[in-house]
Structure 1
Amino acid sequence: MIPPEVPLDDEELVTRAQAGDLEAYELLVARHTASAYRTAILLGAGADAEDMVQEAFVKGYRKLSRYRGDASFRSWLLAIVANETRNLHRSRDRRTGLVLRAARAAPYSEAAEDGAVDAALAGERRATLVQALRSLPERDREVIVCRYFLDLSEDETVAMLGWARGTVKSRTSRALVKLRGLLDVEELSRG
C-alpha cells in the first residue's frame, strides 16, 4: 500500500519556487487564491478583484527572491494584494467603501436561510454594517477588514498592512469604538 502524499507546507513550496520550481509556485497560487480574492473584494476592488489577484500573484512571483520568511507567505502575499488594491483606488481617484461590493457578492448567512423575515433582517443588518464601515476612515476600515472579515491574526495584520504592532492594536481598538458608535447612532435613528 502506497502511503498518502503529505502536502508540502508554504515554506517548502516557497523554497522550491525560489529555486525555479514553477509547479511549486502554482501550488502556492492554488492554495492562496481564495483568500487573496476575498482580500481584494473586502478592500474594495469590486469587479477588478480577479485582476488585482492575478497582478498580485505575478508581482509576488517576480519579488519571490525578496521574500525572507519574516512573516507567513500568506501575509506577505495579502500585503501585495492590499497594495494592488490601494493602487487601484488611487488610479480611480475616488473614495470607495471597503466592503460594499463584498456585501453584495457575499452569500446570505445561515440565519438568512431560516425564512423571509430572517432574510430581511439579515440583509438590513448587513446593509447597516456596510454603511457604518464605509463611514470609517480608510485606515480604520483596513484594520477592521483584516482582523474581523479576513480573520487575520495580529501578526498577519502587521505584516499585511506594514504597520507597527502597537499601531495595529491601537487602531483596531479605536476603529471598533468608532464602528460601534456609528452602529449605535444608526440604531437610535431607526428606533
Structure 2
Amino acid sequence: MSYVEQVQALGQSSEDDAQSIFDRWSDGELTFDEAVALLAALVAAANSRAAALADLSLAATIMHQIGEPVATLGLTAPADDVERLTKASRTLLSLDNVTPERVRRLARCEPLDTAAKAWSDGVAQSRYVDGWVRQTHGSCQLCTWWARGGQVWAADHPMPRHKGCTCSQIPTRKEITHDRYRR
C-alpha cells in the first residue's frame, strides 16, 4: 500500500470512528462533553499517526532515491492539537445545523492536512532534499494548475493545498531526473 493510500485509509478510519461518536451522541448515549472529548481525542490520535506515517514514508522515499539509510526526522503533530481540536469539536457540535457529514469531514481532513504538513516540514528540514515536485492524485483542476507541469520547487517552499487534497511532494535532488515525475 502506498503512502497516499495509507494516509487516505487513516482519514477514512478516523471518519468512520467520528460517525460512531456522532451517532452515539445523537442517540443520547454520550453527553455533549463526552462527545467533544472523544471526537477531539480521536482526531488528535489520527493526527499523531499521520505525522509519524509522513516521517517514515519521507525517510523511505529519500532512502530509495539515494540508496543509503536515512533516519527519520521525528516529525510530530502540533503540540496543541488536543486543545485546538477540543475547541473545534465543541464549536462544531454546538451548531444548530450540525450534520454527521461535517463531523466526518473534520475527522477525515485533519489527518490528511497533518500528514501533508509533516511531510512538507520534513522536505524543508532534510539535508538530502533540495526541492520537490507536486504529484497530483486525481483530476482536481486547482491541483493540476499548482503542479505547473512538473515544476521543481525549493525544499522550503510550502506546498499549497485545499481541504481533502491528497497530492504529495516528491523530494528531489539536483542529480535526480525530474522528468519521471511529470504526468
TM-score w.r.t. the length of structure 1 is: 0.38
Q: Which has the higher strand share?
A: 2
Q: Which has the higher helix share?
A: 1
Which has the larger Rg? 1
